[in-house]
Structure 1
Amino acid sequence: MKNRVEILAPAGSYEVFLAVMNAGADAVYLAGNMFGARAYAGNLNNEELIKAIEYCKFHNKKMYLTVNTLLKNNEINNELYDYLLPLYNSGLDGVIVQDYGVMKFIHESFPDMEIHASTQMTITDSGYADFLRKYNVTRIVPARELGLEEIRDIHDRTGMEIECFVHGALCYCYSGLCLMSSFIGGRSGNRGRCAQTCRLDFNYNGRESKILSLKDLCTLDILPEIIEAGVFSLKIEGRMKSAEYAAGVTSIYRKYVDMYLNKGKETYKVDKKDRNRLLMLFDRGGQTDGYYMRHNGREMIADNTKISKDLGEKKQYEEYIHRTFVEANPKIKINGIVTIKKNNPVTMSLSFGNIAITIDGPTCETALNRAVSREDVDKQLRKMGQTMFELDTLDIRMEDNIFIPLKSLNELRRTAVDRLTDAYLEASKRNNSHRFLPCAAHKESRNKGISVHVLTYEQADEAVKHNIQRMVIDTEVMSGDEISRCVELCRKNNVKSYIGLPRVDRGTYNVKSNSDGYMIRNMSQKTKCDKEVIADYCIYAFNNYAVSALEDYGITGITYPLELNEKELSEMDIDNGELVVYGRIPLMITANCIDKTSGNCHKGSTLFSMLRDRKNALLPVLTCCKFCYNIIYNSVPVYLFDKLDRIRIQPEYYGIIFTTENATEVADVFKCFNNRTKPEDNTFTRGHFTRGVE
């Protein structure tokens, strides 16, 4: 027998919650009406959430609440505590979080609640654990792009619980790093409102296709390997799916997890019928076992010409699921004893597990007419109605010729059930929360300087001619020699130099440089740095609690978030911040490669190509073979130069990001900056500076 693992099922409503529990889930993850990464799911209200917590306690299951979005200052200050308090007090098992500020707030306010690090944190190696342990995080949900050996390494090095997706939709971008829906569609995935822009058609090299749309994940065939890599929690995606989908998928994974746990790997075999049933429940053009056994590949892209269409069989199977799991209402068996004696109160005892209660009812009398029979008592006391219980055994200790009104027996039963419920749940309740007070403000106005980000030596060579104070030297394009030349160029021109570390670091990048410091893109990179560390925008400082968490960890400079508007940014307590005022924003960082997918691989070289969207906008794609990822940039740069003299924010640095620009274009950008004018071609975006995100 292997160590037991957890099947973690999704629930977008209370109906789905009950269905997946009936289908064999060990735990469920769900959201309330606030702060979940699936804002368009039905979700549960607070009354339903508490009911679900109580259900889990009686059935020895676990329930995890998703608070896995980025929260603004007003939300974390005014709403989060009151939202979580009744759930915490009722015994909520844990929360799944993305936001560092939320993590800090919950750790301080709700000390006995488990915190799980969401896949939205983009955890790609064990170095992240050093930061997470400060907040007693007990479980990691690594990036979905990791292979089994990388997952095994995280588990072995950290000893933390590992939760991995085993079935459902796959994002094309590393989770937590996607701004495509936000910048193109105005709906932020970091706020639970992804518009799934990546599922649309794009044109690449003259061919129209859904080149960014991945097949759904299905790992039935490699479940033993996943479990043996150290994965404890097997997570099924689908909080926006139907009860039939969630329960059907859960039941099939229950079957195969039990097969492996009971019989081992040697006899493990997947029935083709079960694969077909999963496709019947949902088909996005085939299935893939994801990144567990590969880094990327054309075979992962959805083929929308091959979607199953046997609607009759699908309907029949969904009806079976509905009858078996959705309509099912299994009861918890409890035991009872009732004692009925003349001239004494009726007593009723109920027991479940190690909890037993006894209550007194009305006094019994000698029957003057028809006596109450044992059958009458048994019938009335077994009427459990809409409760979660049924009497397994009922010991009736009763004298003859007794009268007691039947309505009194009904009231006795109801009171006893309520008392048993309260007594059992009392052990799970907490009352040790305390509201974590807002971080004290210490923001200071500083003299503004310019922080330039460069991809090429040509850009760096031009930039130092324009009175800049800081240079971030990105590592995607330049060789080690070119990076060293950039550092020396900065030194000669009295410019501070920072190496911009890879946007995704799978633990292989050797951080050694004679620069002044490093700009990190992932919290795990902090442990590798021996000099000053500043953070890029993707180290999300969406609220002042997050700012405090980053500063506590030794990060000396923070980039203002790209998804807050001017008013929200002005409320940020960042005293050493960089505000991006120009540059193409990375919309996606992807493990899959567009060139490789299209059969146009330029392995070993790094270059830009263009992806055309449905509105004919051209999105530059940087193929970064050095770190084996793509960066898909916005079609136009963020541009705020003409607003700088009127904004309320006082950053230490104005951030100017160069990507596709040559030396002449770099000089033109500085000219616009100095004159505070708009570019002549008028092709730019304000990003979220004026509108923000919901």
Structure 2
Amino acid sequence: MRIGYGYDVHKLVKNRKLILGGVDIPFKKGLLGHSDADVLIHTIIDAILGALAKGDIGLHFPDEDDNYKDIDSRILLRNTYKIMQVSNYKIGNLDATICAQQPKLQNYIPQMRENLATVTVLSYTRAVNAAFCYFYFFLSRNFTFKQLQSILAESKRTETKVYLTLNTLIKNSELPELLDVLYQVSQTSLSSIIIQDWGVYYLVRKFFPNITLHASTQMAFHNSIGAEFAKRKNFERVIMARELTLEELRIISKKSRIELEIFTHGALCYSFSGMCLFSSFLGGMSANRGQCRQPCRRTFKSEEKEDYFFSLKDNQQIDIVPELMKIGISSLKVEGRMKSAEYVNRVARAYRMVINDPNKLQQAKQLLSFDMGREKTSYFLGGNVSNAITENPFIGIHIGEITKTKGTEFSFTTSEELKQNYRIRIQPQNGMNSKAIKLKKEYGFNEVESGGTASLNFTQESFSKGDKVFLIGAPTEKFRTKFQLDGKRLNLSLPTKKKQNILNKIGSGKQIHFDELFIRINSLRWLRKLYLDKFDQLILNLTKSEWRQFDLRSPFMRKNIHKFIIELPKFIPEDDVSYYRDLCLNLSRQGIKNYMISHISQKLLLPIGIRSSVNENVYTLNDAAIQFLKEDNVALYIYPFEFDYENLVAGKDRNGIVPLYFYPELFHSRMPVKIDKSDSDGYSHFEDRDHSFRKTVRDGITIVIPEIPVSLFQYKDDIHKQGFRRFLIDLSHVKPSQNTFNRLQKRYKYSEAEQPGYGFNYKLGLS
């Protein structure tokens, strides 16, 4: 046992915040210092470092280093705690005294205790060793709440945290059942729920405030304003987008007042999470509702080649774990959905090994070499994405090819040792319908060393010479598959009267009494082709280079300035945050007062006194999400592009903007891909078996759209009869033409079909 003693003094001055134990205490003066000058935490840091004989706070976090300017001292404490972990020590007891006559601190002490306990005990020790429980609401009932209670009882015994994922979008018809689920969650000891839908957020904060919230990566938080917005909305933690660089993450962590979590291992989606419409477009199976058909793993064909254009290697960040700890990341996440227990165990052990002792990196990497995933990439965090696309989208280790077949028998030479109960997968040369096989004696299998020949007699399927063989499972130990059902009994349904009372409070049936038509353009060339008197408002979604050309000084522009809505992009990298804040400020000073944001956190970029709206990327699939936006002073909102008629009319709301014509952005990605040379309009063309597509790049973002637009003009009158009065014609990705505008405007006016055109999910339905 070691004992450390710390002591710290800071001067009280005006115009500084008073921060003690991570709590912002209202007072006329604050503490002067290079960081946030939290003397309580600084004292604890010195005590820990003193006990370890590791110097003092000034040695590790010098006040001449700008990286620590105004930094939250809890980040410094978290980093100090990790130094202690590496030395294999833990805190047994912590006692601190604050000497001050003013202000009175008694009411703030409980929060100080909680802050200190969270930083010094719960972060890495429990987050990575947590029991990850995935519950896909309405979509696949992986376990019951009775089983969940058993897991919670087990977690209490093993001192781990349990998180429940509700990171899916909710339809209007599902709101009553959602309330029952939240009611059940509120009775448990779950550490947190992970959410995607702002409607879920609204219901939790309004009616179940005891539930702790984490923001899913599906919410697409990707910069410091996003992290700040989440903090202001009382999230405990944000799971950041996978597409960030290490430098971006370092800056965000430095600026953030909220816990940050990142994905460090597992499968990667080509599109930003929460922005993919490809699976939904192919048949209503929405990736945003956990139903992804993995179109990025398909082969596509261009004029020059056929390949896996969008299939990414698996994420692996084991090399930078020490750096992630250093910059203050609170939690490392392993993507383990639909993975085996042996995979989760192996990967968690590897990352825990490096967290505890960075010198064991090579040993950990050896463990990960048998995770049975795809090839690995360090992706954007590693600073090089040039080789992130894989030629083999399938999981497993390639161990050989079938060299001989005879009837139902086949054999192959294996590059890895094979034992009973290992699992292999045979991949036919045509790439279709692979088959997984568990190696058993009944198939005539005998254990074989690396370099030996394995033979099987598998009567259920026939294979051919040259078919590839992959090792996909090598169990080394058995895992429990059942828990004793001994958890606390829950009330399963929210009382009917209370449920109805909540549902009555969300959504409004009020309707506007006049029609409004919105036009969106993504090129300034459209301004010369439009008749602005034929519609109500013009949404401008431009690239940075076009914003620099945007000139409001002409009489035509001044006359129509009230019609312009400035739209911000879906992804704003950290380096561009200041650019877009300045852009909005400059345009507002020139008279533009209407702005449309693609992420709700972008409200923090807008100047005071403007009118903010949200586009289809801020999902309004249910009345609760719309209620949240209204109470957050959002003026207008576009319904999601993947909406269906049944859900649209099931809600009370009738004031959103219904998209009638658009090219849905199926992929929206930071990852560059090479297909063919672009045409004169900047598009590359490719296809699969059933559809043709186009790819373009705007401000570094790769966008994939179908060759044929979605057109719902023929349903406009029916939608109008249901009480909807606001409509959108999106001319993004349409070649500027006065004839095209006139034709589409006529289709809108007379509710006529535009051919060719897809119906998307309008009639098919959204799953």
For the criterion TM > 0.5, the same-fold answer is: yes
The residue identity in structure 1 corresponding to 2:81 is N
Amino acid in structure 2 at the alignment position of 1:326: F
Deviation at 1:269, TM superposition (A): 5.0
Q: Aligned partner of 1:620: which letter?
A: R
Partner of 2:565, secondary structure, is strand
d(CA) in 1 for partners of 2:143, 2:745: 51
Q: Secondary structure at the match of 2:368?
A: helix
Residue 581 (structure 1) aligns with: 660
Aligned residue for 1:631, secondary structure, equals: strand
Q: 1:500 to 1:59 in 2, by over 3 A?
A: same
Report the AA paired with residue 526 of structure 2.
Q
Contact 2:163 / 2:192 at 8 angstroms: preserved in 1? yes
- Aligned position for 1:668: 743
2:728 to 652, 655, 661: 655
Checking the alignment, whether the CA contact within 8 Å between 2:231 and 2:258 is kept in structure 1 is no
Tell me the SS of whatever aligns to 1:300. coil
Shift of 1:587: 1.1
Contact 2:129 2:352 in 1 (8 A): no
Q: How does 1:131-170 map to 2 (within 5 A)?
A: 131-170=229-268
Structure 2 CA distance, aligned partners of 1:217 and 1:607?
Answer: 34
Q: Distance in 2 between matches of 1:315 and 1:562?
A: 50
2:734 and 2:641 map into 1 onto residues whose CA distance is 20
Alpha-carbon distance between aligned partners in 2 of 1:305 and 1:685, rounded to the nearest angstrom: 29
Contact conserved, 2:129 with 2:348, CA < 8 A, in 1? no
**Unaligned ranges ≥5, structure 2:** 1-51, 53-79, 86-125, 400-413, 424-472
User: Letter of the aligned partner of 1:217 in structure 2?
Assistant: N
| Counterpart selection for 2:199 from 98, 101, 124 | 101
1:446-498: per-residue Cα shift (whole Å, max 9, x none)?
A: 31121101112222322225601100111137612543359974543476101
Alignment of 1:84-123 (within 5 A): 84-123=182-221
Which residue is 2:566 aligned to? 499
For residues 474 and 24 of structure 1, the distance between their equivalents in structure 2, rounded to whole angstroms, comes to 40
Alpha-carbon distance in 1 for matches of 2:596, 2:127 = 46
In the TM superposition, residue 317 of structure 1 has moved relative to its aligned partner by 11
RMSD of aligned alpha carbons: 3.4
2:178 is equivalent to residue 80 of structure 1: yes
Cα deviation, residue 634, structure 1: 2.6
SS of 2:748 mapped into structure 1: helix
Q: Which amino acid aligns with 2:322?
A: P
In 2, Cα distance between equivalents of 1:459 and 1:208? 35
Match of 1:300?
A: 388
Contact 1:219 1:289 (8 Å CA) reproduced: yes
2:634 partner letter? I
Aligned length: 560
Report if the CA contact (8 A) 1:487-1:497 is conserved.
no
- Which residue identity lines up with residue 65 of structure 1 in the other structure? L
Shift in CA distance, 208/466, structure 1 to aligned 2, threshold 3 Å: farther
Residue of structure 1 equivalent to 2:133? 30
- Secondary structure of the equivalent of 2:183? helix
Q: Which structure is richer in relative contact order (CA contacts within 8 A, separation 6 or more)?
A: 1
Provide the rounded CA distance (Å) in 2 between the counterparts of 1:317 and 1:255. Answer: 27
Q: Secondary structure at the match of 2:380?
A: coil
1:523 alignment counterpart: 600
Q: Give CA-to-partner distance per residue, 1:559-596, whole Å, 9 cap, x none.
A: 1122332232123344542111011111111001224x
Q: Cα distance, 1:134 vs. partner?
A: 4.9
**Aligned match of 2:336:** 238
Q: Structure 2: how far apart are the matches of 1:205 and 1:608?
A: 16
Aligned to 2:531: 464
Q: Give the Cα–Cα distance (whole angstroms) in 1 for the partners of residues 475 and 710 of structure 2.
A: 50
Cα pair 1:247 1:321 within 8 Å, conserved: no
- Tell me if the contact between 1:606 and 1:623 (Cα under 8 Å) persists in the aligned partners: no
Alpha-carbon distance between aligned partners in 2 of 1:159 and 1:533, rounded to the nearest angstrom: 25
Check the 8 A contact 1:151/1:230 in 2, yes or no: no
Contact 1:607–1:623 (Cα < 8 Å) also in 2: no
**TM-score when scaled to structure 1?**
0.74
Distance in 2 separating the partners of 1:291 and 1:196: 21
| Structure (1 or 2) with the larger CA radius of gyration | 1
Q: Percent identity?
A: 26
Match of 2:427 in 1: none
- 1:377 maps to what in 2? none
Quote the residue 2:20 is aligned against.
none
What displacement does 1:121 show? 0.7
Q: 2:145: which partner in 1?
A: 46
Q: Please state how far the C-alpha of 1:53 moved relative to its aligned partner.
A: 1.0
Change (3 A) 1:210 1:305: closer
Q: How far has the Cα of 1:622 moved from its partner?
A: 2.2
Contact persistence 2:266–2:373 (CA under 8 A): no
User: What corresponds to 1:437 in structure 2?
Assistant: 502
Aligned to 1:631: 703
| Distance in 1 (alpha carbons) for counterparts of 2:630 and 2:560 | 29
- TM-score norm. by structure 2 comes to 0.67
Which string of whole-angstrom CA distances, capped at 9 and with x for unpartnered residues, describes residues 380-399 of structure 1? xxxxxx979xxxxxxxxxxx
One-letter amino acid of the counterpart of residue 297, structure 1? V
In structure 1, give the amino acid aligned to 2:707. S
Secondary structure of the corresponding residue to residue 459 of structure 1: helix
1:609 maps to which residue?
A: 683
Residues 517 and 315 of structure 1, relative CA distance in 2, 3 Å threshold: farther
CA distance in 2, matches of 1:132, 1:24: 20
1:120 shift after superposition: 0.4
Counterpart of 1:549 (choices 625, 628, 650) is 628
Alpha-carbon shift at residue 549 of structure 1 (Å)? 1.2
Change beyond 3 A, Cα 1:251–1:463: same
Specify the alignment match of 1:270 in structure 2.
361
Distance in 1 between residues matched to 2:210 and 2:744, nearest whole Å: 52
Output one character per residue of 1:611-659: Cα deviation in whole Å (capped at 9) or x when no partner.
42312632222211x3x21111133212111221122443442101112
Match of 2:756 among 661, 683, 686: 683
1:369-408 Cα shifts (integer Å, max 9, x gaps): xxxxxxxxxxxxxxxxx979xxxxxxxxxxxxxxxxxxxx
C-alpha contact (below 8 Å) 1:123/1:141 kept by paired residues: yes
Contact 1:33 1:44 in 2 (8 A): no
Corresponding residue number in structure 2 for 1:291: 380
SS of 2:717's partner is coil
CA deviation profile, 1:18-38 (whole Å, cap 9, x unmatched): xxxxx9952133233525xxx
Q: Distance in 2 between matches of 1:59 and 1:229?
A: 28
Q: How does 1:189-228 map to 2 (within 5 A)?
A: 189-204=287-302, 206-228=304-326
Residue 519 of structure 1 aligns to a residue in which SS?
strand
Query: Counterpart of 2:637 in 1: which secondary structure?
Result: strand
Q: 1:122 to 1:205 in 2, by over 3 A?
A: farther
**Is residue 519–residue 728 contact of structure 2 (8 Å, CA) maintained in 1?**
yes
Structure 1: give runs of 5+ residues left out of the alignment.
Answer: 7-22, 261-267, 330-385, 389-417
Q: Aligned residue for 1:358?
A: none
Amino acid at match of 1:690: K
Higher fraction of strand: 1
Amino acid aligned to 2:696: L
